Amino acid sequence: TFESTVRQTVADMKTELNNVVRSSAMAMSNYNRLDAEYQKYVRQSQEWKDRAGLALDAGNEDLARKALAKKAESDKQVASLQSAVESARQASDSLKNQVAELKHKIEEGERTATTLVARKNAALAQRKVSEALAGVGKADNAFAALSSFEESVAKEEATAKAFDQLASAGKDPNLEAEFAQLQGHTVDADLEALKRERKLPKVELPKELPAPGR
């Protein structure tokens, strides 16, 4: 994911920092060792010089010569170590500066990573909102389509009603009334005929049938 990638970048920077810190520690250790050796010979040179002075004060030039010879050996060691110590000091200082710079970059990188992740999450949230709003727009389009269908149906209903009115307008109301009256007369005549039939005299049937042959 985006967040894991950003976090991994910061982790890689921290790994690099650890490597530089180890290198810096080794350089500082080397510098400290060389400087200690250098300072030892500087002290020895001064000590042999002081001894040579004491020998001279005592009137012993031979001893003074021996002391000065030892001082010369110490000075030789000082001269040979001086450039190495300076190089080690420069390397140590450079690595310490790199460590400080990397620490600053990592702190800035962590802040940047946090900001980037927050911005990414905000962008995703905004995208979801936009997609939701786009969905609402689609629903609005659907409602608009339904309204259009309703309007179309209303037009069809109005057209059908108009045709019905036109069909009714072609009929003669007086003519229709005359036919209705004729039909009413026919029913009345049928009713009178039925009444007359019901008033016909009844024919009584004999109770017993005559015997055959009589």
Question: Which residues, other chains included, contact 96 with Cβ-Cβ below 8 Å and sequence gap of 6+?
Answer: 24, 28
Q: Which CATH class name applies to 2-146?
A: mainly alpha
Q: If pLDDT is split at 50, 70 and 90, which confidence band does 63 have?
A: very high
Q: If pLDDT is split at 50, 70 and 90, which confidence band does 64 have?
A: very high
The average pLDDT across 93-97 equals 86
What number of CA atoms fall less than 13 Å from residue 12's CA on the CB side? 7
Q: Provide the residue ranges of all domains of the chain, joining segments of one domain with +.
A: 2-146, 152-197
Using one digit for the tens of pLDDT, what is the confidence trace for 115-140?
Answer: 888 888 888 888 888 877 776 556 66
The one-letter amino acid at 207: K
Q: How far apart are CA 110 and CA 98, in angstroms?
A: 18
